[in-house]
């Protein structure tokens, strides 16, 4: 029996899903999670069932399961059960870009701390120490700057301007 939630995207939409997924894969995302994420992005409600994902992407149930598990772990997808139904649906996490970058902010702090440990180990004036110092300083800089950007983004989103990339806030 066909999945009533199955997406039936047009050829142009399918090509765009694959293009978006390819871009994500080139940035280091695993291929199938990138395709699942792209399919969810291009679904009207930002949610699809496992059957719809299998049908849209022509992949196995195991591939969908593994991809969704990965996307849940990184905070981009949430699993939901529709009341009165037995199957789960998967939807994009609310404010997922913001949440994703907040996790990266924590990683930058961890990398900075790790670089500092290495500097303590080898000394700041050695070639290794200079590379580690640059690494630490780079991540410290971005860790210090990103919270203000996050705050500006969040305020802009709350104000309803997130969809207008040409707004004056982008230039400030």
Q: What is the mean pLDDT of each run of 10 residues along the chain (172 residues)?
A: 48 91 94 96 92 94 96 89 86 78 80 96 95 96 88 87 49 39
Give domain status of residue 63, yes or no. Answer: yes
Give domain status of residue 20, yes or no. Answer: yes
What pLDDT, on the 0 to 100 scale, is given for residue 171?
39
What pLDDT, on the 0 to 100 scale, is given for residue 2?
42
Out of 38, 59, 92, a domain closes at: 92
Which CATH number do you get for residue 104?
Answer: 1.10.287
Out of 69, 92, 115, a domain closes at: 92
Out of 38, 73, 92, a domain closes at: 92
| Beta partners for residue 48, in sequence order | 90
* Residue 138, φ and ψ in degrees, nearest 5: -60, -50
What pLDDT, on the 0 to 100 scale, is given for residue 18?
95
The DSSP result for 102-160, as a single string, is HHHHHHHHHHHHHHHHHHHHH-TTSHHHHHHHHHHHHHHHHHHHHHHHHHHHHHHHHTT
Sign of the dihedral through C-alpha 24, 52, 7, 161: negative
What pLDDT, on the 0 to 100 scale, is given for residue 163?
54
Give domain status of residue 5, yes or no. Answer: no
The DSSP result for 83-96, as a single string, is TT-SSEEEEEPTTH
Residues 18 and 72 in one domain: yes
What pLDDT, on the 0 to 100 scale, is given for residue 107?
85
Residues 75 and 40 in one domain: yes
Residues 78 and 58 in one domain: yes
Residues 16 and 45 in one domain: yes
What pLDDT, on the 0 to 100 scale, is given for residue 121?
95
**Residues spanned by the domain of 130:** 96-159
pTM equals: 0.68
**Residue 116 CB contacts under 8 Å (≥ 6 apart), including other chains:** 132, 136
Residues 88 and 100 in one domain: no
- Cα–Cα distances in Å, from 101 out to 7, 105, 128? 29, 6, 29
Residue 133, class by beta-carbon neighbours within 10 Å (0-12 exposed, 13-18 middle, 19+ buried)?
A: middle
What pLDDT, on the 0 to 100 scale, is given for residue 4?
42
Residues 100 and 52 in one domain: no
């Amino acid at each position: 029996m066909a999945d009533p939630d199955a997406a039936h995207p047009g050829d142009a939409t399918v090509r765009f899903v694959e293009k978006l997924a390819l871009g994500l894969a080139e940035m280091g995302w695993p291929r199938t999670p990138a395709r699942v994420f792209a399919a969810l992005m291009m679904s009207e409600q930002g949610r699809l069932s496992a059957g719809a994902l299998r049908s849209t992407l022509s992949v196995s149930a195991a591939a969908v399961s593994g991809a969704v598990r990965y996307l849940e772990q990184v905070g981009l997808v949430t699993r939901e059960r529709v009341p009165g139904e037995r199957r789960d649906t998967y939807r994009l996490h609310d404010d997922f870009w913001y949440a994703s970058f907040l996790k990266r902010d924590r990683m930058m702090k961890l990398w900075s701390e790790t670089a500092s440990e290495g500097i303590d180990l080898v000394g700041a004036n050695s070639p290794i120490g200079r590379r580690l110092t640059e690494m630490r300083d780079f991540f410290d800089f971005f860790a210090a700057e990103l919270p203000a950007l996050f705050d500006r983004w969040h305020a802009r989103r709350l104000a309803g301007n997130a969809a207008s990339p040409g707004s004056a806030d982008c230039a400030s």
